[in-house]
Amino acid sequence: GQQLNQSPQSMFIQEGEDVSMNCTSSSIFNTWLWYKQEPGEGPVLLIALYKAGELTSNGRLTAQFGITRKDSFLNISASIPSDVGIYFCAGQRGAQKLVFGQGTRLTINP
Amino acid sequence: NAGVTQTPKFQVLKTGQSMTLQCAQDMNHEYMSWYRQDPGMGLRLIHYSVGAGITDQGEVPNGYNVSRSTTEDFPLRLLSAAPSQTSVYFCASSYSGGRASTDTQYFGPGTRLTVL
């Protein structure tokens, strides 16, 4: 089945560093979403992007909807310990189901 | 609001057994869906429903049945469990399934299923 290519698969950083991850697809999406999942819980929506070229921030998080509509990135600035988790991108077309990336596991050394 | 609830939280089955994973939401959401999450695979859609009485297949529907008799409930049935169905299962719901630009899918806490 279709999946998004998300990279990197894992990141090990120092507290205070900036983080960048991205997703690419061979297909166009109308919506790009970024979720965070913590152990034993379901994914929680962080940022939703609805227009090509859109740049949206949520606190220290910034995400962009690629101009080709086939990619998106998420940046986290000045990372803190509670940023630890798995980050997923997801693409959506209209009222259809989400297609998820494989996830980026973020580990932070204090 | 309890949001999206799932039961049980953990389950161990033997090959060939059947069971139903329960999912309920109290937000009057039209759209509900089931995903499975496997290591390195992200989440994959099993089945979804756009309203009571309407269901459709997702990416990996084989071995699973669903029904939607009420707006609130969307159970997932495994008819004859297989080891390949060992996974974490998530139920999600949203108001319109993404038609509205401000729509959001809310996920339940998950059911961890092991099939021996």
- Nearest chain A residue (CA) to B39: A102
Q: Residue A43 is encoded by which pair of tokens?
A: 């994914």
Q: Do A95 and B50 touch (CB under 8 A)?
A: yes
What pLDDT is recorded for position B102?
54
The pLDDT of residue B38 is 92
User: pLDDT tens digit string along A57-68?
Assistant: 999 999 999 999
Rounded to whole angstroms, the maximal C-alpha distance in chain A is 42
CA angle B70, B74, B75 (to 5 degrees): 125
Q: Kindly give the pairing relationship between strand A55-58 and strand B31-38.
A: unpaired
Q: CB–CB of B91/A24 below 8 Å?
A: no
Measured between beta carbons, which residues in chain B are less than 8 angstroms from residue A3?
A: 41-42
Residues in chain B with CB shorter than 8 Å from the CB of A47 are none
Q: Distance from B55 to chain A by nearest Cα, in Å?
A: 12
By C-alpha distance, the chain A residue nearest B111 is A40
Distance from CA of B70 to the nearest CA of A (A): 20
Q: What is the DSSP letter of A101?
A: B
Task: Report DSSP state, residue A24.
Answer: E
pLDDT in tens, B72-87: 999 999 999 999 999 9
Residue B4 to residue A97, Cβ atoms within 8 A: no
pLDDT, one tens digit for every residue, chain A (110 residues): 567 899 999 999 999 999 999 999 999 998 999 999 998 889 999 999 989 999 999 999 999 999 999 999 999 999 999 999 999 999 987 666 788 999 999 999 88
Min Cα separation A2/chain B (Å): 8
